[in-house]
Amino acid sequence: MLVLGIFFIIVGLGMNLSQEEEKVVVERNSVVKKEVVLGATLSVVKGKVSLNRASKEELESLPRIGPKLAQAIIDYREKYKGFKNIEEIKLVQGIGEKMYEKIKDKITI
């Protein structure tokens, strides 16, 4: 009930949530992290960085990801219309198996 109330307040304030984001809020039927409800971008979900939505700065918060690699991830995401799974990040130049192993538990699509 609390989540639905928050959802209606957000909609009433004119925030635009996509249907996917509305579904997350309504179907979970529990308190959702502030980043999800108020951020409405879902770039960080349950402490994981979304490869498909994160800003350059959010990507840089990952271990061993600096400005160049963060930009390479964004370039790849734009060129191929997003990542289909987290393993696909290994196709970004500069990210190999070792780096993937260090960040795989910190990323989501």
Are residue 38 and residue 54 in the same domain, yes or no? no
Task: Round the average pLDDT of the chain to a whole number and report it.
Answer: 75
Residue 102 has pLDDT above 70, yes or no: yes
Which residue range forms the structural domain that includes residue 76? 49-108
Over residues 3-38, the pLDDT tens digits come to 444 443 344 444 444 444 444 443 344 434 434 444
Q: How many whole angstroms separate alpha carbon 106 and alpha carbon 18?
A: 24
Q: How many whole angstroms separate alpha carbon 23 and alpha carbon 100?
A: 30
Q: Which of 53, 85, 59 is nearest to 72 (CA)?
A: 59
Confidence of residue 42 (pLDDT cuts 50, 70, 90): low
Q: What is the mean pLDDT of residues 89-93?
A: 98
CATH code at 71? 1.10.150.320
Give the ranges where the chain is alpha helix by DSSP (H): 2-12, 19-28, 34-39, 56-60, 67-79, 97-103
Are residue 72 and residue 96 in the same domain, yes or no? yes
Residue 92 has pLDDT above 70, yes or no: yes
Q: Which of 33, 25, 95 is nearest to 103 (CA)?
A: 95
Are residue 21 and residue 66 in the same domain, yes or no? no
The owner of tokens 């609390």 is 2
Are residue 27 and residue 59 in the same domain, yes or no? no
Are residue 76 and residue 31 in the same domain, yes or no? no
